[in-house]
């Protein structure tokens, strides 16, 4: 397993639309394992492949609490449908927009169809944090970030802040 580099704004790859996976094979499982390790290493609850520079429709997630056993989940070629009419605001963050948090409103319930780690077809209803996270990750597959829902001013400030934070990290590493 390997920890991969997480791309941050304004990396243009984050705006790419990811392509469907043709086959869930060992190479793809290797990518999913690496993504999960990368996500855990960054203290995230979800990660889309594009965030590590791979434009495939693959998401990993773990919504377990700190004191719970890990609950890794894998979503290949996910499709969302039947969103609830009711929206819920949630303070979102993103590993590709580190240190920035802001409220986004999304349907609080949605159907998800996907292939799992073994390539089996699955279907679930996502609610609460699961609904927030899967919609946030789905957006990544379409090249959309949560800051795209904010005002232009807030979005520009967010990108500037990340640039600054990343620069100071580079300085520390040098």
Residue 47 interaction partner, one of ligand GNR, Ni ion, none, beta carbon < 5-8 Å per kind: ligand GNR
95 is a contact residue toward ligand GNR (CB under 6 A) = yes
Shortest CA distance to 10 belongs to which of 153, 174, 173, 143?
Answer: 143
Strand partners, 80: 112
Residue 132 interaction partner, one of ligand GNR, Ni ion, none, beta carbon < 5-8 Å per kind: ligand GNR
Q: Scan residues 43-72 and list those touching ligand GNR (CB under 6 A).
A: 44-48, 51
Decide: 106 and 148 in contact? Cβ < 8 Å.
no
- Based on the residue annotation, tell me whether 68 is a catalytic residue of this protein: no
**The one among 106, 140, 155, 162 contacting ligand GNR by CB under 6 A:** 140
Alpha-helical runs (H) found in 25-127: 26-41
Of 123, 127, 137, 142, which is the active-site residue?
Answer: 137
Give me the least distance between CB of 118 and Ni ion, in Å please: 25
Q: Is 123 helix (H, G, I), strand (E, B) or coil?
A: strand
Tokens standing for residue 95: 């590993």
- Number of residues that make up the chain: 174
Which position has the token pair 């290493």?
41
Footprint on this chain of Ni ion (rule: CB under 5 A): 94
Residues lying near ligand GNR in the complex (CB under 6 A): 44-48, 51, 92-96, 132-133, 136-137, 140
Residues forming the active site: 137
């Amino acid at each position: 397993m390997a920890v991969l580099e997480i791309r941050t704004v304004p990396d243009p790859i984050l705006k790419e639309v990811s392509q469907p996976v043709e086959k869930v094979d060992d190479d793809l499982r290797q990518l999913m394992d690496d993504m999960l390790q990368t996500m855990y290493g960054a203290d995230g609850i979800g990660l889309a492949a594009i965030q590590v520079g791979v434009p495939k429709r693959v998401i990993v997630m773990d919504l377990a609490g700190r004191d719970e056993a890990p609950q890794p989940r894998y979503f290949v070629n996910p499709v969302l449908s039947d969103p609830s009419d009711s929206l819920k605001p949630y303070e979102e963050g993103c590993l590709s927009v580190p240190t920035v948090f802001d409220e986004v409103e999304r349907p609080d319930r949605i159907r998800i169809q996907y292939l799992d780690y073994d390539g089996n077809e699955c279907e679930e209803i996502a609610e609460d944090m699961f609904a927030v996270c899967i919609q946030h990750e789905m957006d990544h597959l379409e090249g959309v970030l949560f800051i795209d829902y904010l005002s232009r001013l807030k979005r520009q400030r967010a990108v500037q802040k990340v640039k600054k934070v990343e620069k100071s990290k580079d300085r520390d590493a040098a």
